[in-house]
Structure 1
């Protein structure tokens, strides 16, 4: 294998290795930026992550409100909130978690109470998200009620679902025909919902099982189908709970690290429209990760993703701690930002490029003209060697030689154009028309 081929192959291999290293570093960065548990603590239960402030032991959670019980009798193991029977399906350090809630069901007309949240556990410092959940009732002769409480106050509401014909039922719609939904108030810390079925005076069993289902469900996790009138596929649905930090410092404009649970490169904030005490932590702009852990908020490299920076494509993006900088590459000026000045070529650079291009064009034109005439002269010299050139066309050869010398001149004003060269050759031939045969052969030689 030639040395050049070996070098090219080695270069290609190094480029592949460098690309793999970049991908690996990105994966490592993404992994380290993912919310983590405290060092030495269980960070996963089955398929679910357990980020701090949640944990499975006192040394691993912030306080008892954030206890996660990992039940090993399941395969794979399942996490449960505190010591309840409600499985946890997702935990976010942004202040939310999802648990599975049971469905209230009535097929006898007597009314069935779910009792799943009020009797099975008290949310304490957590509340049921009013923005992300809906109270839902399914059935054709059905209604359901939801009762809840917050800060010593209680409320009761519900909705009715009716349908006399399957044509009235629309998939994805819960506006009262086969399915109804209502919002729930903010800040509820315990709820109780009940399903009721009306007496079946009209037989609608042809397209439903005469049952009523009532439940609270995360809006993003539910879409109604008419088939649910005959058989609801789930006996539990995910609901979203909001959580905040309480009893561990406060969040004010003068607060610092010793006042709250937020760590390096993180700030505390009070959730909007919150109706009770508590705060949350979040990473500062330019950082991502777990704000409740020491060194949990890591710098984001905005330069690795063009959607995270405003630098002009093809120019320079420099990552900085918590931010980035844009610069124009050499030969350009500006702020380097797409939404700003951008990057413009320096005037001196433009002049150099124009002059260089012009000089190169002149050199190429002169070289091509000179080569063309030299090639013609060689043809004529060849004719002379075969005794084709005689005394009658010697002057022509001298004139052609002179013409070639003129074209080789670097002075643009003195150098003839290709058209002028052709016309001069034609004139020389016509001037010596007395030797027609020789001129014919000369013309043929010149035209080759």
Structure 2
């Protein structure tokens, strides 16, 4: 009878605790729920007893027809957790072809301003759906715009069905990217590349949205019948806009109550409260954090409930009088003090035996693990083409051979790939600064993925690239094949990239025209060498200012061959998946997927324009007519307004002719048809001629030569986009209007 009474008392205690916790969700007199959604304080709806039900204005909620909204009713809330998570519902941005079609596309921008909330980077994805689609996610902070996004393009329904499967958002028909941390005020917009001209019969809309992980599954049928109007996503909420340390000194504005502690937000906005160890409940509610009562609720590790004793915020396991030992489950419990000595000896002997057995087993396990690691390294070495590379090296001159590094060497050189030694990240991998045992400093590239079907081609390219010996090409020193993904070791160039100098106001002022012309000449010479002087021609495939490094003497060195391809001696073009960086990509290559040496020429033309103007190849921060640098540059040149687009400070009376000649050369490189562009050898020779020629007075100020007029008429006319009868309502009607984004699948 006594046992039953005790059990009944414990059940009543637990029920009372549950009721008290539920009551603590909101302040007295304030609504606890709206529909099926709980409303815990510091959130609140309205006021009660002359006080607000919410802690601050940013946490004010509205309940309309059993539906919960943030603030005065703009965004619906689906769920609130006391640990700092909140589920919201937001409309989906879409851009659709208008029927009947007159060259127009309708679209909408979805905006969300959440001063107290941050879009969770751990719990959400940014997704775009469509076959002629580019979606971007913008955020604004301190007057600066930050953007991310993804694109998906497919030419036919048959190609999608052959390469894509339901439930898989892998970049064909559907793409997704991670959400950058710290986003508060966002805007989402979906676009079309070509007004759905090539996909309207199976996909005539683009969709972009932020969605909670696991809440969206892509199906092929959604390309022509997208069933959703909105999506749920997660935000991280905090209290206030100051740190814990500053808020504690202002009791009226400090949200953490008794038996709770404060922790600063990882994103830098406000703080959160949590109950101290041994307490649970609502840390924002007065007396919301209550002792867990581990003994009563059986949440302890004592060997028996009789050994458990409550203390404030915790418990103790104590043996009763007459018993001794460790009262915890792990310690074996309490034993009688009169226990026979024989039993004690048996226990001690068994313990020693177990320890010896454990040590022997551990020793055997360590040997097994060491052998396993050795076998794994051997497996990766063979899998990554190590045997093929050794065969190549046995046939090569030892002075030109590639160094094969061990995994341990590079692990030691990078301090186990310490994040503090990261000097660059790109579409193809991460680059670490390394210190070899001979005190040489190197750059170690750790690729993201490797295509096992192209291992032999990869080894051939490593051998060829390692034999390149040109003062303006970053030297490939060797590789490591003992890891799952091969590691490449390059010479270290420590003075940054040309991109850093051109687009930093302080640094750009120090790069005069003479230095820019020299850097352009050196980079052109390096590309010319790769195209024609190397043992096997090499197409770089990703020429841009970010891939032109500067050493201590500001000598240019072409780098990053993550996307480059060898050209067989009997071929002039290669069919590939389109890779590169928007703003630099050859339009002919994008349309045909046929990679030629002239693709590098086009990209180098963009580099020349960057050197002339100091502007980025593409930017949403510029007016619409100036977003594409190449189009704006050629337009100004055609209209005799070249000097309006030049960077301030590079033009003087002595270099006008040089600048005009470089501008003409850039326009030649930017011709849309590859056959009409000069070769890199011709470009390098022309730049060298411009550098060496005696400077003449400018005799044709404000006028463009007949050659330039003819050239620009041809180049500009082919770059004009859109038709004369209609434009997209969103204001973007071609691939040229995309922001700079690296495309790369790695090698």
Instruction: Give the TM bin, normalised by the shorter chain.
Output: 0.5 to 0.7
Name the residue aligned to 2:316: 325
Task: Give the conservation status (yes or no) of the 8 Å contact 2:243–2:264.
Answer: no
Q: Which residue of 1 aligns with 2:10?
A: 22
CA distance in 2, matches of 1:30, 1:289: 10
Which residue is equivalent to 1:239? 233
1:285 paired to 2:277: yes
- Correspondence for 2:244 among 247, 251, 276: 251
**Residues 111 and 197, structure 1, Cα contact 8 Å, conserved in 2:** no
Q: Is the 8 A contact 1:52 1:62 kept in 2?
A: yes
Residue in 1 that maps onto 2:57: 64
Matches within 5 A, 1:120-135: 122-135=113-126
1:94-127 per-residue CA deviation (whole Å, 9 max, x = no partner) reads: 222121010012231725223242xxxx322322
Secondary structure at the residue paired with 2:295? helix
Separation in structure 1 between the aligned mates of residue 308 and residue 249 of structure 2, nearest angstrom: 33
Does the CA contact (< 8 Å) of 2:260 and 2:276 recur in 1?
yes
Q: Deviations over 1:396-443 (max 9, x none)?
A: xxxxxxxxxxxxxxxxxxxxxxxxxxxxxxxxxxxxxxxxxxxxxxxx
State the secondary structure of the residue aligned to 2:315.
strand
Query: Could you say which residue in structure 1 is the equivalent of 2:295?
Result: 303
Measured after TM superposition, the shift of residue 296 of structure 1 is 0.7
Partner of 2:187: 192
Q: Give 1:107's aligned residue.
A: 96
Deviation at 1:187, TM superposition (A): 2.1
Distance in 1 separating the partners of 2:304 and 2:214: 37
Aligned partner of 1:154 in structure 2 is: 145
Whether the aligned pair in 2 keeps the contact of 1:186 and 1:275 (CA below 8 Å) is no
Cα distance in 1 between the residues matched to 2:111 and 2:246? 40
Between the aligned partners of 1:225 and 1:16, the Cα distance in structure 2 is 57
Does 184-193 or 26-35 show the bigger shift?
26-35
Q: 1:371-406 CA distances to partner (integer Å, 9 max, x unpaired)?
A: xxxxxxxxxxxxxxxxxxxxxxxxxxxxxxxxxxxx
In the alignment, the residues of structure 1 paired with residue 74 and residue 68 of structure 2 have an alpha-carbon distance, to the nearest angstrom, of 10
Bigger CA radius of gyration:
1
Aligned to 1:52: 41
Tell me if structure 1 keeps the 8 A contact 2:132–2:199.
no
Q: TM-score, normalised by structure 1?
A: 0.65
| Cα distance in 1 for residues equivalent to 2:294 and 2:263 | 24
Structure 2 residue aligned with 1:266: 260
Q: TM-score, normalised by structure 2?
A: 0.40
Residue matched to 1:32: 20
Give the conservation status (yes or no) of the 8 Å contact 1:257–1:263.
Answer: no
Give the number of aligned pairs: 327
How far apart, CA to CA, are the structure 2 residues paired with 1:243 and 1:267?
A: 17
Residue equivalent to 1:224? 218
- The CA deviation at 1:20 is 5.0
CA distance in structure 1 between the aligned counterparts of 2:5 and 2:107, rounded to whole angstroms: 64
The alpha carbon displacement at 1:305 in A equals 5.6
In the alignment, what sits opposite 2:173? 178
CA distance in 2, matches of 1:332, 1:172: 62
Instruction: Give the whole-Å Cα distance in 2 for the aligned partners of 1:328 and 1:51.
Output: 41
How far is 1:233 from its partner? 3.4
- Secondary structure of the 2:235 match is strand
CA RMSD of aligned residues (A): 3.1
Q: How many angstroms apart in 2 are the aligned matches of 1:344 and 1:56? A: 54
Checking the alignment, whether the CA contact within 8 Å between 1:113 and 1:192 is kept in structure 2 is no
8 A Cα contact 1:101 1:116, kept in partner:
no
Contact 2:26/2:53, CA 8 A, preserved across alignment: yes
Distance 1:310 1:33 in 2: 24
Taking the aligned partners of 1:331 and 1:169, their CA distance within structure 2 comes to: 72
Matched, 1:94 2:50: no
Structure possessing the higher relative contact order (Cα contacts under 8 Å, 6 or more residues apart): 1
Aligned residues of 1:111 and 1:195 also touching (Cα < 8 A): no
Change (3 A) 1:101 1:203: closer
Q: Partners of 2:162 and 2:7 in 1: how far apart?
A: 58
Q: Which residue of 1 aligns with 2:307?
A: 316
**CA 1:128–1:348: 2 relative to 1, 3 Å:** same
Structure 2's unaligned 5+ residue stretches are: 98-103, 344-747
Secondary structure of the structure 1 residue equivalent to 2:168: coil
2-side partners of 1:332 and 1:168: how far apart?
Answer: 71
